[in-house]
Structure 1
Amino acid sequence: MSGRDLRSIGVFTILAFALAWLLALPLWFGDGLAAPWFTLVAAATMMTPAIAALVVVFFVERSQHKTWTLGLWPLRPVRSLLGYAALGIIVSIALVLVALPVGALLGVYPADFVNFSAFQQVLDERAGAAGVAEIPIPIGALIVIQLATLPLAAFINLIPALGEELGWRGWLLPKLMPLGTLPALLISGVIWGLWHAPLILLGYNYPDAPGWLGVTMMVGMCILVGAVFGWLRLRSGLVWPAALAHAAFNGAGGTYLLFAKAGEHVDTTQATILGWSGWIVPLALVVILIATRRFAPRSTHDREARLTQTTG
């Protein structure tokens, strides 16, 4: 890796982190996660990696093929792009959901897969607040509807997810690949995890954990999940499958509330995809992908051919 590449990575990382902290300052000096503008701040923060990547590509590297460098273009071969996009959505949702029975088997996730008591409690409270005796739709049907609509979240959440992926997997991961696949995945995952610190230290995702533990857990999760997103980026040659996977992942994150037992506390350092029990399946997946050499990016010949088709 050249000194110019190291400089670009340094500028990108510093800028992404600085912007994230800058946007979080109103929360730190205000009501934290309870602030009425928290959702707006969180959404804006997700755009900071994209801003950092664009600054580097346009003003530091001044790349000739900027959209290709970021993995935005060309959108071909179409069949491959659509295949990896669909795979990313399915795999992301599956990883979030499978973490729940795994956590239940290990005794760290208080599950109720029969009566859905925690979800039923929420529905009863909402019905009472609306002055209705009960929700007319059976709870089982509501669960099915919730799960069936999860893929839609990949498209609803695509813009903010692309804000992150344009930086982490669109630009940073390929830039780190000269170090080797495993180092690139580890470094990009650690950077991604630490970037969450401004919100994690306020209690986001890990409300019961001390700050240092919350950040550590977030880094661990980001390494594993980021490796899956990285696989999509490298194999497809584009950032879109990773962005859709990230969007679907975020959209499915709250499903643990559907299957929890009423009155029981969920410790996210241990349960759900955020906790150690939820890392078992993605870790196994990443090991398999590495062992079968599925992280190998598209060949230089393929990428040059795509560029030629686009520009010529």
Structure 2
Amino acid sequence: MNVEPPAVAEKSAPRGRVSSSDLRAIGAFVALAVVSAWLVALPLWFGDGLADPWFPLVSVAMMTTPAIAALVVVRFVERRQRPAWALGLWPLRPVRRVLGFAALGIVTSIALVLAALPVGALLGVYPADFANFSAFRQVLGEQTGGAELPVPVGALIAVQLAALPLGAFVNLLPALGEELGWRGWLLPKLMPLGPLAAVLISGVIWGAWHAPLILLGYNYPDAPGLLGVAAMVGMCVLVGAVFGWLRLRSGSVWPAALAHGAFNAAGGTYLLFAQAGENVDTTQATILGWSGWIVPLVLVVVLVATGQFAAAKHPSGPPER
């Protein structure tokens, strides 16, 4: 049986501290992920921003930078012989636990995104039209030239909602590009600091990493740049805690990646239930805004109170022999 190199098997740091070798690895990872994200996004800054025709490709390419950074660090800084173990890709056992948390992650992500809408409506920050779907009707009318639809609008919305779990698999590869870095590698590395500190630090880094796009108006088009970045950090801390819970309890990165894919698939559902002619301020409404953070905050508090952030055995790598 292959044995991990000495750099991995060194004596661990005292509880509450990260070892010096892990600190170096974490610093290298964060620097690589952030710098490469900015480099990938530069064409948008020198071009037409979010209106640039290259934006879809650039955004997907940017999502690969955390995975690339993690792979570089695992291979050349830590010199791990089994990168799949170090990133949480393998082993997929116990299979029932991994599959169970994968399904739970998909359902939970979609539920959090959808729950943000009635909460925002109740608080008066999301202009909702749950009865007539006027904004969605308006979009359909523009697309069909005002022609009568062959099926009721409610049925179209039901089909779109029913298809959201499939979006988890459609978006899996781009989501895995992020999750291999943030939850696959970084979160377990920070766990000696304690679950709360690990979740908070990894969430802040994840949110700030989005800055190259957020400062161009992505997700928060009506907010000043720094306010948008701050809002993104707040959302990423809470949603990242949920993804982190899936990673730690399953011992695998796959449930977090599927949850991330489902989250991205469900992100645009606020357009289905909005009121026509009304602007949606995403710093206040939807899962991106403060009103949308209430439900995930409650969930995270419950998870913390019930001790659900304890890591599964060998969450970040293989046994040492």
Using structure 2 for the length normalisation, give the TM-score: 0.93
Is contact 1:100–1:256 with CA below 8 Å preserved after alignment? yes
How far did 1:307 drift? 5.3
Whose helix fraction is larger, Structure 1's or Structure 2's? 1
The structure 2 residue matched to 1:260, chosen from 268, 274, 289, is: 274
The structure 2 residue matched to 1:102, chosen from 106, 115, 119, is: 119
The question of 1:45 aligning with 2:59 is answered no
Match of 1:195 in 2: 209
**1:243 partner amino acid:** A
CA RMSD of the aligned region, Å?
Answer: 1.4
Which structure 1 residue ranges, 4+ long, deviate > 6 Å from structure 2? none
The structure 2 residue matched to 1:135, chosen from 136, 149, 171, is: 149
Q: How does 1:160-179 map to 2 (within 5 A)?
A: 160-179=174-193
Give the secondary-structure state (helix, strand or coil) at the position aligned to 1:13.
Answer: helix
**1:28 partner amino acid:** W
Matched residues in 1 for 2:131 and 2:250: separation?
39
How far did 1:65 drift? 2.7
- 1:37-73 deviation digits (Å, cap 9, x = unpaired): 1000000000000000000000000113321110000
Is contact 1:74–1:307 with CA below 8 Å preserved after alignment? no
Match of 2:7 in 1: none
Q: How does 1:49-128 map to 2 (within 5 A)?
A: 49-128=66-145
Match of 1:2 in 2: 19
The question of 1:249 aligning with 2:266 is answered no
**2:77 partner amino acid:** V
Gaps in structure 2 of 5+ consecutive residues = 1-17
- 1:107-138 deviation digits (Å, cap 9, x = unpaired): 0000000000000000011110xxx6222111
Give the secondary-structure state (helix, strand or coil) at the position aligned to 1:55.
Answer: helix
Match of 1:299 in 2: 313
How far did 1:245 drift? 0.1
How far did 1:303 drift? 8.8
Match of 2:6 in 1: none
Match of 1:269 in 2: 283
**2:27 partner amino acid:** G
Match of 1:235 in 2: 249
Match of 1:212 in 2: 226
**1:274 partner amino acid:** L
Kindly tell me: are residues 224 and 216 of structure 1, through their superposed partners in 2, closer, same or farther at Cα, counting changes over 3 Å? same
The question of 1:150 aligning with 2:167 is answered no
Matched residues in 1 for 2:124 and 2:306: separation?
32
- 1:129-150 deviation digits (Å, cap 9, x = unpaired): xxx6222111010010000000
Gaps in structure 1 of 5+ consecutive residues = none
**1:285 partner amino acid:** L
How far did 1:77 drift? 1.1
